[in-house]
Amino acid sequence: MGGNGFFKWIKLILYAIIITMINSINSFKMPVSEAVTQYWKTRQTQAKRQEISGKADQGARSAVTGGAQMDGFIQLINQLVIEVGINPKNIFFKRALELPGFFRPTKEWDFLVVKNDQLIIALEAKSQVGPSFGNNFNNRTEEAIGSAVDLWTAYREGAFNKTVKPWLGYIFLLEDCEASQKPVRVKEPHFKVFPEFVNASYAKRYEHFCRKLVRERHYNIVSFLLSDRKSGLKGKYQEPADDLNFELFAKSLVAQASIYGDLSNK
């Protein structure tokens, strides 16, 4: 095949991938609001169950320990990758989620696509509600950065994959409330903090954090959502940053899945 023919072939493949990606997203209609509703309803159900059992899990701490709250988003991701050809046998959630690490033996992710002995997609879906935004912010940021650094270092050292570079995604849902939106003072006893954090609310801190995860190439793409408890039950949510919206997240995800979809049955 000549040089021109080769490049024409590549263009046709890319065009087919783009068309598949766009059709998949448009036909799916991005039911993010349904995932948001499921999130808040799950939290309500867990809270009531804990009250009845007398194990209230120390109030809002159940937002972290309750589990299953982000399942609506995981189901959405699952359907998106199946839509573009990934075989369900190559998809893992709720089971077999461990990947080898470099600094620790394994790390459990929220969603994986593993095909032909190669990691194609790894995803985390996390959230936070009030009132303890301070401590939980530090925990969430350290967790997300540590997980990514651990995976990429293990990848560099040959723990998995020889030809395919994995795709890493991160979804974060934050409660939209007065406590998450009010300015927060920073302590600077020795050195100045970066200016974007001065008087920034926790919502704004999370926005900066999510953006930096992408810019520093820890994750391929991040989706950052805000939702309050009342309207969230009706599926209402906000996307405060255009570069962190779910549509961009889904397009990046579907592009990765589309490339390998034709090999899903092999």
| pLDDT level of residue 134 (50, 70, 90 thresholds) | confident
Position 14: which residue type? L
Q: How confident is the model at residue 219 (pLDDT cuts 50, 70, 90)?
A: very high
Per the rule left: phi > 0, alpha: psi between -120 and 50, beta: everything else, 30 is: left
Which token pair is 94? 């709720």
Q: What is the mean pLDDT of residues 29-33?
A: 75
Residues 182, 170 contacting (CB under 8 angstroms): no
Nearest to 248 by CA among 12, 21, 63: 21
What does the alpha-carbon distance between residue 172 and residue 126 come to, in Å, rounded to a whole number? 5
Could you tell me the residue ranges of all domains in the chain?
3-261
Closest among 211, 187, 216, 217 to 199, alpha carbons compared: 187
> What is the pLDDT at residue 259?
85
Q: Count Cβ atoms below 10 Å from residue 170 Cβ, excluding itself.
A: 26
Q: Name 260's bridge partners.
A: none
- pTM, full prediction: 0.84
